[in-house]
Chain A
């Protein structure tokens, strides 16, 4: 069975602090895809990144970076120098061949609050 665990329910930081959101996944597939989405209070899920299981390179996009480690089945997300606009719920999700229609398995989400 596929599963995604985001153990941090809520995180609160002060602006300009760095923060890491953890994501641990379980799957028996050898080919799978991992995603991060941001959901601000307005409700829309905003796509942040997709990573396939064969690409373990870390990725950086501005203040965002992602650390994918197959050995520990983790796909962690770091925000550097956090800003108030980063306040949102962040979801990690998993998709794989077992669900040919692209069904996403979501974690429970981590609520990030960035205080000024």
Chain B
């Protein structure tokens, strides 16, 4: 089973709202990732969690706050976003290590008004 699930599929929020994106995997993977993808561009890495600890933060603004409650779950808390934050947010997971394949979820399409 190589499934990563993400909720919600679509999200519309105002600039003063607080919302959260959720990601779940049951493959026993120990690394989880958040990516942001703008239209017609490749995914851009935002955060990496390894064994439930944040290992990479790609200089992401503090209005994005990741959380890894356990090895299967990954959240992305959103607060005071800007319209330019509108994008497809993808979650991925993998076994630890550079050789391992990252499996992606279907993404959350976020629109900030």
Contact = CB atoms under 8 A, between A and B. Distances in A.
Interface residues of A, number: 27
A33 interface: yes
A57 interface: no
B102 interface: yes
B101 A35 contact: yes
Interface string A80-105: 00000000000100011101111110
Interface stretch (A17-25, A42-50, A61-69, A70-78): A42-50
Given A43-B107, A45-B104, A97 B42 contact: no
A99 B98 contact: yes
Nearest to B48: A101
A40 B92 CA distance: 17
A19 to B, nearest CB: 20
A101 B33 CA distance: 10
B18 to A, nearest CB: 24
B103 A95 contact: no
A101 B56 contact: yes
A45 B107 CA distance: 9
A101 B31 contact: yes
B61 interface: no
Given A42-B106, A44-B105, A95 B99 contact: yes
- Shortest 4 CB-CB distances between A and B: which pairs? A106-B42, A45-B104, A44-B106, A43-B107
Interface of A: 32-33, 35, 37, 42-47, 50, 52, 91, 95-97, 99-104, 106-109, 111
Given A101-B98, A102-B100, 13 more contacts: A43-B106, A44-B105, A45-B90, A47-B102, A50-B101, A52-B99, A100-B97, A101-B31, A101-B50, A102-B48, A102-B99, A106-B43, A108-B42
